[in-house]
Amino acid sequence: MKVVITGGTGFLGLRLARVILERGEICGASGAPEPIDKMILFDAVTPPERPAGLDERVEIVSGDIADRDLVMRLISGDSLSVFHFASVVSAGAEQDFDLAMKVNLDGGINVLEAARAAPGLTRVVFTSSFAVYGGSALPDTVSDDTKITPMTTYGMTKVVNELLLNDYTRKGFLDGRGARLPTVIIRPGKPNKAASGFASGVFREPLSGIDYDLPVKNETRMAVSGYRTIVDGILALHEAESDAIGDDRSVNLPSITLTVAEMIEGLQRVAGDRPLGQINAVPDAAIQAICDGWPGRGQSPRADALGLPADKDLDSIIRAYIEDYADA
């Protein structure tokens, strides 16, 4: 079978690709495991060097997700699964509404239409976000059935895609599944335009001996999950029986709740004698406002019922990052 990952050369896309290649097979349209013959990693740009861990089954394609013809050519074939990561992220979407509409909405519809046109019942996993929640009536803790009232352009585009995924699945065009992601930590490399980027930067830079300017208050609270758990959860959602997911195709992935102060305490605890860069308070009102509009706690009863994985604690997330990146 063929696997297509949009946003495939990004951090999560690449990690998922490597996990799938190592497994060698995933569930096809029939629900039975099928070997991976072909994988396409589709992204806006081509990496300067081919990423490690990709074998001859993998083709990297660069292009515009809003190009319907290109997306239709890539997402095609008799046995197919799609993982849709490509998106303009939170702060970037606030800064450029038109680009967010083009990439997140037009691109999302292109992916769904291509999967609809493909033979069989293509499984499509869409990565949504806790940013679907927001507003003045936002409860302290959100769950799968909390009303979705996004207060950012990014969150709005995620909600629209969730609703489209529901309807395309209801009509039998495809087999859609939506993974609502909490803030994913600890992302390596250079920061992107996500407002939540500080939740990785507050670990990443100090562990590299680099001082870090923290844009939010220490009492800022977030629902987070480690990247290993997120990738495993997305793949587990793909493998789940369709009937077990139900009519509402998007589920909250499991998370743990932390304040920024608790993040810093965890960093110092796990680092031990390791030299750390200094963390400096440099408030950014725009980033603080976006984060204040997000839920601080998440519940995931439907993901729990499906058996999706959850992080044990913050320390294990930090240790995984040190093993995978800081000391690699």
pLDDT for 140 beyond 90: no
| pLDDT value of residue 322 | 96
Sequence-distant (≥ 6) Cβ neighbours of residue 319 within 8 angstroms: 270
CA distance 300 to 312: 15
CA distance 204 to 267: 10
Rg (CA), the chain: 19
Please state, in angstroms and as integers, the Cα–Cα distance from residue 218 to each residue in 112, 214, 283, 290, 294, following that order: 40, 9, 11, 15, 16
Of 102-106, 186-190, 215-219, 244-248, which gets the smallest average pLDDT?
Answer: 186-190
| pLDDT value of residue 135 | 87
pLDDT for 328 beyond 70: no
For domain 2-184+225-255+299-312, give its CATH number from 3.40.309.10, 1.20.1250.20, 3.40.50.720, 3.40.50.300: 3.40.50.720
CA distance 255 to 271: 23
Angle at 169 between CA 128 and CA 177, to 5 degrees: 30
Of 12-21, 132-141, 186-195, 214-223, which gets the smallest average pLDDT?
Answer: 186-195
Helix (H) or strand (E) holding 289: helix 285-292
Which of 154, 168, 212, 227 is labelled catalytic? Answer: 154
Sequence-distant (≥ 6) Cβ neighbours of residue 9 within 8 angstroms: 41, 43, 45, 46, 47, 51, 60
The pLDDT mean for the chain works out to 95
pLDDT category of residue 61 using cuts at 50, 70 and 90: very high
pLDDT for 237 beyond 70: yes
Q: What is the pTM of this model?
A: 0.96
- Give the whole-number percent of the chain exceeding pLDDT 90: 91
| pLDDT value of residue 31 | 85
Express each pLDDT in 167-219 by its tens digit. Answer: 999 999 999 999 999 999 999 988 777 889 999 999 999 999 999 999 999 99
Per residue, the 3-state secondary structure of 27-73, as one string, reads: ECCCCCEEECCEEEEEECCCCCCCCCCCCCCEEEEECCCCCHHHHHH
Q: Are 210 and 201 in contact (CB under 8 A)?
A: no
pLDDT for 90 beyond 90: no
154 is catalytic: yes
Q: Which residues pair with 41 in a beta bridge?
A: 5, 60
Average pLDDT over residues 276-282: 97
Sketch the domain layout of the chain as residue ranges. Answer: 2-184+225-255+299-312
pLDDT for 81 beyond 80: yes
pLDDT category of residue 57 using cuts at 50, 70 and 90: very high
